[in-house]
Amino acid sequence: MMKAPLVFGIGQCSLDHLGLVAAYPPPDVKCEFTNLLLQGGGPAATALVALKRWGARCHIAGVLGDDGFGTQIKALLDAEGLDTSGLQIRKQHQSQFAFIASEPALARRTIFYQMPTGEPLRPEEINTGILLSSQALHTDGLFTEASLFACRKAKAAGIPVIVDAGTLRDGMLEMAKMSDCFVTSEVFSNAFAETPAETCRKLAGMGVRLAGVTLGKRGYVALVDGRFIEKEAYPAKAIDTTGCGDVFHAGLIHGILHGWSPEKCLDLGAWAAARVSEQMGGRSGIPDIHALQLKYSDGMNR
């Protein structure tokens, strides 16, 4: 039997605390929330969880603190079957934390977060042996130096590089030059160019083969080999959009691993993300492998 593909991920590993609020409050009030949920989060980590559930092997590299949150973040990733040997535990530091207030009526969420307080991941902490035996590298760009190091190695070895560009941080554009697939959030796009189409054009000009921008419930725009692909989001009974972008990227990576067309990769991303929006947290709504196989058993099947 052929070995399952291996995805090497670098980036944020968070412990998300989510709650539902009827409407986001003005300052200086007491605001009751319901449906408290604790769940692992972070763009790279959640994308890898989806890919693992869809049959890939996944290695995650990132930074935790030696606090209770870190223990839970790692335990949740271990329980999913990820290889967490790339997680570095910084002594006397705090792990990444988020509190997310979701307004189900508007499918809008507000995130308060603290980044891991420990030293960022260092290039020498990347397990190059595992990286070079992987079939894809995925980074959310948080650990700039380590990500750039891994991108260079992957690019030189012909391993596809996929970047989830949520925020226009230092080093992101250098990463773009080495990536095959670079899909940004609307926040990134607004900071980078006048329009999403312009963002795609600029990224394509830097050598990105599949350049795209996700636009929440308005869908996405992508530019592949000089061709624009623009699609609306899948209809969804959205209550919490946490993780939609993360799982959209998982869809792209799954498609790339299986040699799918760019249209089909994007379609899987959008379909899986729509399902994620229907549950609280980034991981509860990830469609399982059977649903995925059923959906794509017969061509596009949209």
Ligand X SMILES: Nc1ncnc2c1ncn2[C@@H]1O[C@H](COP(=O)(O)OP(=O)(O)OP(=O)(O)O)[C@@H](O)[C@H]1O
Binding of ligand X at residue 215 (CB under 6 A)?
Answer: yes
Binding of ligand X at residue 295 (CB under 6 A)?
Answer: no
Binding of Mg ion at residue 166 (CB under 5 A)?
Answer: yes
Binding of ligand X at residue 107 (CB under 6 A)?
Answer: yes
Alpha-carbon torsion angle 206, 258, 301, 45, nearest 10: -70
Binding of ligand X at residue 244 (CB under 6 A)?
Answer: yes
Task: State which of residues 5, 245, 251, 282 lies at the interface with Mg ion (CB under 5 A).
Answer: 245
Binding of ligand X at residue 268 (CB under 6 A)?
Answer: no
Q: Which stretch binds ligand X (CB under 6 A): 8-16, 54-62, 68-76, 237-245?
A: 237-245
Q: How far is the CB of 11 from ligand X (least distance, A)?
A: 12
Binding of Mg ion at residue 243 (CB under 5 A)?
Answer: no
Task: State which of residues 96, 189, 241, 279 lies at the interface with ligand X (CB under 6 A).
Answer: 241
Residues 33-52 that bind ligand X (CB under 6 A): 43
Binding of Mg ion at residue 212 (CB under 5 A)?
Answer: no
Task: State which of residues 39, 84, 277, 279 lies at the interface with ligand X (CB under 6 A).
Answer: 277
Q: Which stretch binds Mg ion (CB under 5 A): 47-55, 145-153, 160-168, 256-264?
A: 160-168
CA atoms within 13 A on the CB side of 288: 2
Residue 38 tokens, joined: 């604790």
**Interface residue list for Mg ion (CB under 5 A):** 166, 185, 245
